[in-house]
Amino acid sequence: MVKLKVLIEKEKLAKAVKKGNLACPGCNLNLAFRHAMAALENNAIIVVPACCTSVIQGFGHGYGLNIPIFNCAFASSAAVASGMARMMKRRDPNVNIVVWAGDGGTADIGFATLSGAAERDEDIIYVMYDNEGYQNTGAQKSGSTPRGAKTTTTVTGKRSPKKSVAKMMVAQGVPYVATASAVYPLDLYDKIYRAAHEFKGHFRFIQIHTPCPPGWQVQTQDVVKVGKLSVETGYWILYEAVHGKVTISSKSRRYQDPAKRAPIEEWMKYQGRFKNITPELVKQLEEDIQFEWEEILKLTQ
């Protein structure tokens, strides 16, 4: 695993995220972007559909991210990146073409182009940063919102489970799939680095969990704790899959045993989106977690 000192040095060199940009205080997406660009050594062109990142990047003198960005229509990210990757193959094949899209733009609106680009094995790294809702437009529910969470479109709590996009990519046979979290930067760095260096030339998919203070109604000072509890409760599983074979990452390994997981209530108590959740929905959410573990563990064999 990369050393913290190296990550800090590389972030200083990359300077991908400018100080005082338009992200909310405590935004984990902003952190994830910084860590990811350090791993890519800024050798990338980023394709961004409408999402919080397109706000954070700003425009004109307010430009908040220090890297070439191409903004595209919501559903088209993976198609736009496919064209770009093919052109760059002729001009400068070493450049990484990276989609950086939200969960709404990936699990829902951009899923068709994502699946198409994966099937064609385009030379793209597709990053889905997962803040579990359409946060830029005021916290609506997405396919990636967990069961029980209140959003402005699920006012009594979402009734269906979180869509498992990374697992769908594994099922599609994508050469390299990984899940990561903004609050485990070294693990995140390693996965982006590996995607860029070991699997260049192929389609790669990385889903990064990025807790969002306003959308999840979490106090800024608690956001890292909530990110860690996402892993410690077993809710968010960190893993890598190479050509369909899953390896559970070290930070998640012990939580395959349900007895070692932190209680889900401990995670929910910091988040206003779970306020007054019914005991029935809590139970169903716990069942969702166990189901996901069983599904992922089957892929390790």
Ligand X SMILES: Cc1ncc(C[n+]2csc(CCOP(=O)(O)OP(=O)(O)O)c2C)c(N)n1
Q: Which residues would be at the binding site for ligand X (CB under 6 A)? A: 50-52, 74, 102-105, 131, 133-137, 142
Q: Which of 175, 215 has the CB closer to ligand SF4?
A: 215
102 sits near Mg ion (criterion: CB under 5 A): yes
Rounded CA-CA distance 31/245 in Å is 29
Query: What part of residues 233-272 is at the interface with ligand SF4 (CB under 6 A)?
Result: none
Dihedral sign, Cα of residue 73, residue 32, residue 85, residue 116: negative
50 sits near ligand SF4 (criterion: CB under 6 A): no
29 sits near ligand SF4 (criterion: CB under 6 A): yes
105 sits near ligand SF4 (criterion: CB under 6 A): no
Q: Which of 165, 281 has the CB closer to Mg ion?
A: 165
At its nearest, how many Å lie between ligand X and the CB of residue 16? 17
215 sits near ligand SF4 (criterion: CB under 6 A): yes
- 205, β-bridge pairs: 126, 177
23 sits near ligand SF4 (criterion: CB under 6 A): yes
* CA dist 178 → 27, 199, 273, 296 (Å): 21, 12, 27, 12
179 sits near Mg ion (criterion: CB under 5 A): no
131 sits near Mg ion (criterion: CB under 5 A): yes
- Nearest CA to 212 out of 153, 141, 271 is that of 271
Answer for which of 76, 131, 154, 271 binds ligand SF4 (CB under 6 A) is 131
Rounded CA-CA distance 296/301 in Å is 10
207 sits near Mg ion (criterion: CB under 5 A): no
Answer for which of 47, 85, 103, 223 binds Mg ion (CB under 5 A) is 103
- Residue by residue, DSSP assigns 110-140 as THHHHHHHHHTT-S-EEEEEE-SSBTTTT-B
Q: Half-sphere exposure of 177 toward its Cβ, with a 13 Å CA cutoff?
A: 24
The DSSP letter of residue 220 is G
Footprint of Mg ion (CB under 5 A): 102-104, 131, 135
Footprint of ligand SF4 (CB under 6 A): 23-24, 27, 29, 52, 131, 135-136, 212-215
